[in-house]
């Protein structure tokens, strides 16, 4: 039942998300195991998008995250890369519609 | 890499926490700056990158490489993943009037959040764990 990840750190991250009281071993181990699965799955699927140079890059991850429904919670962390040219277009559109809220967020990234 | 050396502390950690269900002894000690807001140090927000890379290398073929931006991105995603699932599991335990989150809450959270393919391997893992500790 050994894991590749430090349990204490996982516990800390879990505790930070809400005021949880106790985190039992059962929960901690399960979370650790699933985190391992998550890393492998994400890497594997994103690597499937690698084309020529055998190197997994950010853009592959973001491509994968954009299209998976259950990874919606990562969209803010892994926004799609866009060209400055396109971004300016979005900004202009935003000005016209005066709904630039979401665009502002992206700008700060 | 010091694989064998690394696994030892985790094992100890695991052993130490064995009696946790009953007592709330040293568990609160890492909550020293409580007083409501539990501040997380920057270096504690993420899992160590070397552990993550080790796991990332498993599905990547031998001639494959992982760029720095991809590593760091995954590192952030992982912390987000843990918080995301934990929040859902906590909500379910609260809905059922329990103070402590259990393994089934976690499984429920996975199923509920669209990670159905995690449920089966994890419930097998949970089963094994419960057998192991009884």
Whether A59 and A80 share a structural domain: yes
**pLDDT tens readout for residues A17-65:** 766 678 888 999 999 999 999 999 999 999 999 988 999 999 999 999 9
- The radius of gyration computed from the CA coordinates of chain B, to the nearest angstrom, equals 17
CA–CA gap between residue B71 and residue A43 (Å, rounded)? 10
**β-strands B65-66, A55-56 pairing:** parallel
What is the mean predicted confidence (pLDDT) over B106-132? 92
Q: What domains are there in chain B, each with its CATH number?
A: 40-133 (1.10.20.10)
Q: Look up the domain containing A13 and give its range.
A: 1-48
Confidence class of residue B25 from pLDDT cuts 50, 70 and 90? very low
What is the mean predicted confidence (pLDDT) over B121-128? 91
CB-nearest partner of A35 from B9, B59, B82? B82
Domain count, chain A: 2
Whether A1 and A37 share a structural domain: yes
CA–CA gap between residue B83 and residue B32 (Å, rounded)? 21
Asked if the structure places residue A11 within a domain, the reply is yes
CA–CA gap between residue A37 and residue A33 (Å, rounded)? 6
Whether A17 and A59 share a structural domain: no
Asked if the structure places residue A17 within a domain, the reply is yes
CA–CA gap between residue B18 and residue B32 (Å, rounded)? 22
Whether A29 and A41 share a structural domain: yes
Asked if the structure places residue A2 within a domain, the reply is yes
Q: What crossing angle do the helices spanning B68-95 and A7-17 adopt, rounded to 10°?
A: 60
Question: Residue A40 and residue B56: Cβ atoms within 8 Å?
Answer: yes
On whether the CB atoms of residues B83 and A38 are closer than 8 A, the answer is: no
Asked if the structure places residue A80 within a domain, the reply is yes
Asked if the structure places residue A104 within a domain, the reply is no
Whether A56 and A93 share a structural domain: yes
On whether the CB atoms of residues B108 and B85 are closer than 8 A, the answer is: no
**pLDDT tens readout for residues B58-72:** 999 999 999 999 999
Lowest mean pLDDT among A11-20, B68-77, B110-119: A11-20
On whether the CB atoms of residues A56 and A47 are closer than 8 A, the answer is: yes
Tokens 């519609």 belong to which residue? A97
Whether A30 and A16 share a structural domain: yes
CB-nearest partner of A40 from B13, B30, B59? B59
* The predicted structure's pLDDT at residue B20: 40
Question: Residue B100 and residue A56: Cβ atoms within 8 Å?
Answer: no
Choose among B112, B45, B56, B37: nearest CA to B80.
Answer: B45
Tokens 């030892």 belong to which residue? B8
Higher pLDDT, B14 or A52: A52
CB crowding A70-82: b at 16 or more within 10 Å, else e? ebebbeebbeeee
Whether A44 and A60 share a structural domain: no
Let me know if B96 is exposed, middle or buried by CB neighbors in 10 A (0-12, 13-18, 19+): exposed
* The predicted structure's pLDDT at residue B7: 44
CB contact A1 to B (< 8 Å): yes
Whether A17 and A58 share a structural domain: no
* The predicted structure's pLDDT at residue A55: 94
Whether A41 and A58 share a structural domain: no
Asked if the structure places residue A106 within a domain, the reply is no
Whether A26 and A68 share a structural domain: no
Asked if the structure places residue A15 within a domain, the reply is yes
Interface ipTM: 0.78
Cα angle: B87, vertex B113, A81; to 5 degrees: 95
CB contact A50 to B (< 8 Å): yes
Question: Residue A1 and residue B59: Cβ atoms within 8 Å?
Answer: no
pTM above 0.80, yes or no: no
Whether A4 and A39 share a structural domain: yes
Whether A60 and A28 share a structural domain: no
What is the mean predicted confidence (pLDDT) over B76-90? 94
On whether the CB atoms of residues A30 and B123 are closer than 8 A, the answer is: no
Q: Which regions of A11-58 does DSSP assign to beta strands (E)? A: 55-56
Q: What crossing angle do the helices spanning B3-16 and A7-17 adopt, rounded to 10°?
A: 50
């Amino acid at each position: 039942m050994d894991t590749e990840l430090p349990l204490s750190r996982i516990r800390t991250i879990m505790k930070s998300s809400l005021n949880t009281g106790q985190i039992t071993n059962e929960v901690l181990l399960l979370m650790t195991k699933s985190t391992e699965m998550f890393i492998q799955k994400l890497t594997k699927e994103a690597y499937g998008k690698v084309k020529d140079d055998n190197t997994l890059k950010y853009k592959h991850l973001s491509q994968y995250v954009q299209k998976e429904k259950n990874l919606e919670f990562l969209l803010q962390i892994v926004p799609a890369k866009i060209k400055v040219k396109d971004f300016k277009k979005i900004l202009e559109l935003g000005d016209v519609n005066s709904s630039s809220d979401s665009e502002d967020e992206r700008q700060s990234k | 890499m010091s694989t064998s050396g690394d696994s030892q502390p985790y094992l100890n950690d695991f052993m130490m926490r064995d009696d946790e269900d009953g007592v709330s002894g040293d568990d609160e000690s890492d909550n020293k700056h409580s007083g409501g807001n539990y501040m997380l140090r920057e270096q504690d927000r993420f899992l160590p990158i070397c552990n993550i890379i080790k796991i990332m290398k498993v599905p990547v073929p031998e001639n494959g490489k992982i760029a720095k931006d991809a590593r760091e991105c995954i590192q952030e995603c992982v912390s987000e993943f843990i918080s995301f699932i934990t929040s859902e599991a906590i909500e379910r335990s609260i809905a059922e009037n329990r103070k402590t989150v259990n393994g089934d809450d976690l499984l429920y959270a996975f199923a509920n959040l669209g990670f159905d393919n995690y449920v089966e391997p994890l419930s097998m893992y949970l089963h094994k764990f419960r057998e192991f500790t009884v």
